Amino acid sequence: MSNVPVLGNYVSEDKNFTFKISSADSSNGAISGVYNASYSPVGPLTSEGNIGHYSWVFNKSQGKDGVAPFVISFGGSARPDGRPYCISDAWNGAYQTDNSILAEGVRSFVNQDGVVQVRSLGTLRFAIA
């Protein structure tokens, strides 16, 4: 396998979350793309730009780095004009040798009425669509 993480669209097994890797910079681990969640307390969530990070480890069996598995994180956030709310989704996990991502997600939400929600999004596998 080469050039990991593979660029493309990753879809969660429950189909509620998508993560598009448009570019991945191996010099600093930055991932650019688009994160989408089909639901939130304020409707669908879309975030674009620098939406993730990855870090390789030295793979002893292959004698090199730059190959799976490795650590990856991604997500998105929104705070509209006027700041009526802020929402943040964060996924942390591992990029697998089959080019899927196994990750655990968490969501934080606060609105102008003082509503606070912090909840797990679960552990899900994201596969290339």
Question: Where do the structural domains in the chain lie, given as residue ranges?
Answer: 8-128
Is the pLDDT at 1 greater than 70? The verdict is: no
Is the pLDDT at 28 greater than 80? The verdict is: yes
pLDDT of residue 43: 97
The pLDDT of 44-59, averaged and rounded, is: 96
The pLDDT of 59-87, averaged and rounded, is: 96
> Between residues 2 and 24, which one has the greater pLDDT?
24
DSSP-derived letter for residue 7 is P
pLDDT of residue 4: 87
> Between residues 103 and 66, which one has the greater pLDDT?
103
Nearest to 103 by CA among 91, 121, 120, 88: 91
How does residue 3 score in pLDDT terms, banded at 50, 70 and 90? confident
Under 8 Å between Cβ of 112 and 89: no
Residue 83 buriedness (CB in 10 A; 0-12 / 13-18 / 19+): exposed
Instruction: Give residue for tokens 């030295």.
Output: 58
Q: What is the CATH number of domain 8-128?
A: 2.40.128.30
Is the pLDDT at 93 greater than 80? The verdict is: yes
Mean pLDDT of the chain: 96
Instruction: Give residue for tokens 């929104």.
Output: 78
d(CA 21, CA 31): 7
Q: What percent of the chain has pLDDT over 90?
A: 95
